[in-house]
């Protein structure tokens, strides 16, 4: 018994000595040593992993004399709640050290944590705040790594992050600070609302598939009509289902079907065919993912758009003008083909050209026009085109042997004259850019009635051309159809400067909302969603320390 007591005493003394040794260094000394070691090894770490904030974190702790930053309980709780709410942004709380932070806080009460644990916890919380704020400001996914043809600048990160952190923690405004760096436009806020709504639908079991079969039309009787009713009740397109016969396709259901078709960029004819059933059978999980990845696209761009701007949604086939957060103009558009995509970028529209000529891009002139010229040089006159040298001098095409030239050697410019035959139609809207892309009219008006409108070489063909012009000029006493017809009748190519240049965003969104909180889904015409979703779902990479 005596030997056992001695043994227990020795173990207790040994453990006590180790505890004293572990606590020998103050938190300030541990932080200072960590920062100094990190400068040598070029890696800031905590709890076995290398952190995200390799520059801001050392600067932050050095400026505060290596003191702990997260001693206030409210700040800690606010950060934890904010990280957990990242799920509502379509992000993953695990990316922001939620498990490691929770484990450390669960080991003991904050005041009883070892100094090493206190430092690890402090570093992890500081890094989590910086990383989460960074993702809210400019997105988790680095879009330029997904596509080289991306020309929208990243949203700038705040300067003097260490000072902002100090003020935020001192004023106990962690939640407010994170809320303020989120996109503030209603597009983003209402998309989040719909993400929550669709997750609630998922939690209740989602929806069943609609059985495929013959096309369904109004006044038809079919057992599948009941499946359609159940589906549209869940999505909210059908408000009530008080009918005598669930299998009858009645007028109320037709209105609901048309609403569904409009929301999914389908022809709104009330006919339930293959395309409509295909959209109804997209799973709730896929719809949720589509909302999430488009929230990410909004984080890339839409934090503080101007009070007045134009927006082209390539996947939605539309251009809209928003002023004071209200939609004041909308038009259907035609965008680039799958292999001649319309690029994504932000520009500034500056002027309009009426009765435009069209200078064919070199690729079109050499790959499409030149082969036709080799067969028949009179193709130029048939299409009201002229050929010029590089100095702009018009040449006699009958004196040119086009068979001598190729796509690698074609020292000419091909231009189509102004007129109703012109590929640009009667007007074009210019926002100078390196892609030579702009909005313009088209003589092929029937294409606007197509459901999927990806036919161009990259430019955006606009249906409501004169409504757009009059909206931009914003002076109906001068810029009306009488004025427009006067210029058209002159046949002269006429440049019209806008009273104020206006920003235009060329975006690619496969889900969006309007101001009435109606949720729309669009086809992924350029097959881009999968790559964004994969990058969004991949865990944020933190390198483990060997």
Range of the domain at 150: 26-182
**Can you list the pairs that 205-213 forms with residues at least 24 positions away whose Cβ atoms lie under 8 Å?**
206/234, 206/283, 206/284, 206/285, 207/231, 207/234, 207/235, 207/284, 209/280, 209/281, 210/277, 210/280, 210/281, 212/274, 212/277
Element (H, E) at 334: strand 326-336
**pLDDT range class, residue 37, cuts 50, 70, 90:** confident
- pLDDT above 50 (res 483): yes
Token pair 């051309």: residue: 465
Tokens (6 digits) for 117: 């644990």
Q: Does residue 241 lie within any of the structural domains?
A: yes
Name, in order, each residue with C-beta under 8 angstroms of 284's C-beta and a sequence gap of 6 or more. 198, 201, 202, 206, 207
What is the number of domains present in the chain? 4
Q: Does residue 538 lie within any of the structural domains?
A: no
Could you tell me which residues are beta bridge partners of residue 336?
456
Shared-domain flag, residues 333 and 374: no
- What's the angle, vertex CA 356, arms to CA 351 and CA 362, rounded to 5? 100
Average pLDDT of the segment spanning 19-26 = 61
Average pLDDT of the segment spanning 358-376 = 92
Shared-domain flag, residues 30 and 132: yes
Q: Does residue 176 lie within any of the structural domains?
A: yes
Of the three residues 399, 417, 435, the one that is the final residue of a domain is 417
Instruction: Note the pLDDT of residue 21.
Output: 46
- pLDDT above 50 (res 1): no
Shared-domain flag, residues 490 and 397: no
Give the span between the Cα atoms of 198 and 196, in whole angstroms: 6
**pLDDT range class, residue 19, cuts 50, 70, 90:** very low
Name, in order, each residue with C-beta under 8 angstroms of 251's C-beta and a sequence gap of 6 or more. 218
Neighbours of 191 (CB within 10 A): 25
Instruction: Note the pLDDT of residue 16.
Output: 41
- pLDDT above 60 (res 458): yes
253-257, 292-296, 327-331, 448-452: segment of lowest average pLDDT: 448-452
Q: Does residue 298 lie within any of the structural domains?
A: no
Name, in order, each residue with C-beta under 8 angstroms of 355's C-beta and a sequence gap of 6 or more. 418, 419, 426, 427, 487, 488, 490, 491, 492, 493, 494
Shared-domain flag, residues 325 and 441: yes
Q: Does residue 484 lie within any of the structural domains?
A: yes
pLDDT tens-digit series, residues 176-203 = 999 999 998 899 999 999 999 999 999 9
pLDDT tens-digit series, residues 86-108 = 999 999 999 999 999 999 999 98
Q: Does residue 540 lie within any of the structural domains?
A: no
Say what percent of the chain tops pLDDT 90: 79
20 or 36, higher pLDDT: 36
pLDDT tens-digit series, residues 47-58 = 999 999 998 999
Shared-domain flag, residues 215 and 158: no
Instruction: Note the pLDDT of residue 42.
Output: 67
Whether the Cβ atoms of residue 218 and residue 251 lie closer than 8 Å to each other: yes
Instruction: Note the pLDDT of residue 301.
Output: 87
Instruction: Note the pLDDT of residue 544.
Output: 73
pLDDT tens-digit series, residues 223-265 = 999 999 999 999 999 998 778 888 999 999 999 999 999 999 9
Whether the Cβ atoms of residue 137 and residue 303 lie closer than 8 Å to each other: yes
Shared-domain flag, residues 120 and 69: yes
Shared-domain flag, residues 158 and 259: no
Q: Does residue 8 lie within any of the structural domains?
A: no
- pLDDT above 90 (res 38): no
Q: Does residue 188 lie within any of the structural domains?
A: no
Shared-domain flag, residues 368 and 395: yes
6-10, 360-364, 508-512: segment of lowest average pLDDT: 6-10
Give the span between the Cα atoms of 251 and 237, in whole angstroms: 13
CATH assignment of the domain containing 235:
1.10.101.10
Shared-domain flag, residues 161 and 247: no
Label the pairing between strands 427-430 and 439-440.
antiparallel
Q: Which of 53, 94, 135, 91 is nearest to 303 (CA)?
A: 135
Instruction: Note the pLDDT of residue 221.
Output: 95
Q: Kindly report the average pLDDT of the chain as a whole number.
A: 91
Average pLDDT of the segment spanning 518-536 = 96
Shared-domain flag, residues 121 and 154: yes
- pLDDT above 50 (res 8): no
Instruction: Note the pLDDT of residue 341.
Output: 92
CATH assignment of the domain containing 442:
2.40.440.10
Shared-domain flag, residues 403 and 442: no
Average pLDDT of the segment spanning 73-90 = 97
- pLDDT above 80 (res 20): no
Shared-domain flag, residues 406 and 368: yes
- pLDDT above 80 (res 413): yes
pLDDT tens-digit series, residues 124-146 = 999 999 999 999 999 999 877 78
**pLDDT range class, residue 150, cuts 50, 70, 90:** low
8-12, 25-29, 383-387: segment of lowest average pLDDT: 8-12
């Amino acid at each position: 018994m005596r030997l056992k007591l001695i043994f227990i005493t020795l173990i207790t003394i040994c453990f006590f000595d180790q505890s004293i040794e572990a606590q020998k260094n103050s938190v300030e000394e541990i932080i200072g040593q960590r920062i100094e070691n990190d400068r040598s090894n070029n890696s800031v770490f905590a709890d076995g992993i290398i952190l995200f904030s390799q520059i801001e974190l050392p600067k932050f702790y050095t400026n505060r004399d290596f003191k702990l930053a997260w001693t206030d309980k409210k700040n800690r709780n606010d950060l934890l709640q904010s990280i957990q709410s990242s799920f509502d942004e379509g992000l993953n709380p695990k990316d922001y050290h939620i498990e490691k932070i929770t484990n450390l806080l669960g080991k003991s009460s904050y005041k009883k944590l070892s100094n090493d644990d206190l430092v690890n916890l402090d570093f992890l919380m500081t890094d989590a705040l910086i990383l989460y704020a960074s993702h809210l400001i400019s997105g988790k996914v680095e879009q330029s790594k997904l596509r080289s043809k991306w020309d929208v600048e990243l949203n700038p990160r705040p300067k003097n992050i260490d000072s902002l952190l100090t003020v935020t923690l001192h004023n106990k405004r962690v939640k407010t600070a994170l809320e303020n760096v989120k996109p503030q436009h209603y597009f983003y806020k209402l998309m989040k609302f719909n993400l929550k709504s669709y997750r609630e639908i998922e939690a209740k079991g989602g929806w069943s598939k609609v059985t495929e079969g013959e096309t369904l039309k109004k006044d038809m009787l079919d057992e599948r009509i009941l499946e359609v009713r159940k589906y549209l009740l869940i999505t909210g397109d059908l408000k009530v289902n008080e009918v005598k016969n669930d299998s009858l396709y009645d007028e109320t259901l037709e209105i609901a079907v048309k609403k569904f078709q409009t929301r999914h960029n389908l022809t709104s004819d009330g006919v339930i065919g293959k395309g409509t059933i295909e959209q109804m059978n997209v799973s709730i999980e896929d719809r949720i993912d589509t909302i999430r990845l488009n929230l990410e696209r909004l984080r890339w761009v839409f934090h503080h758009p101007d009070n007045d701007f134009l927006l082209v949604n390539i996947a939605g086939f539309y251009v809209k003008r928003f002023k004071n957060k209200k939609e004041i103009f909308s038009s259907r558009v035609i965008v680039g083909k799958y292999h001649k995509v319309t690029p994504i970028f932000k520009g500034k529209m500056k002027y309009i050209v009426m009765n435009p000529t069209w200078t064919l891009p070199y690729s079109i002139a050499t790959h499409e026009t030149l082969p036709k010229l080799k067969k028949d040089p009179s193709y130029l006159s048939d299409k009201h085109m002229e050929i010029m040298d590089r100095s702009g001098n018009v040449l006699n095409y009958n004196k040119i042997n086009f068979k001598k030239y190729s796509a690698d050697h074609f020292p000419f410019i091909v231009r189509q004259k102004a007129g109703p035959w012109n590929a640009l139609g009667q007007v074009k809207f210019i926002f100078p850019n390196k892609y030579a892309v702009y909005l313009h009219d088209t003589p092929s008006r029937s294409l606007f009635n197509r459901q999927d409108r990806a036919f161009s070489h990259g430019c955006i063909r606009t249906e409501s051309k004169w409504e757009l012009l009059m909206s931009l000029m914003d002076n109906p006493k001068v810029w009306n159809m009488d004025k427009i017809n006067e210029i058209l009748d002159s046949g002269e190519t006429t440049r019209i400067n806008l009273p104020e240049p206006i920003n235009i965003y060329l975006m690619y969104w496969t889900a969006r909302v309007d101001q009435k909180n109606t949720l729309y889904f669009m086809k992924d015409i350029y097959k881009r969603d999968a790559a964004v979703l994969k990058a969004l779902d991949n865990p944020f990479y933190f390198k483990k320390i060997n």
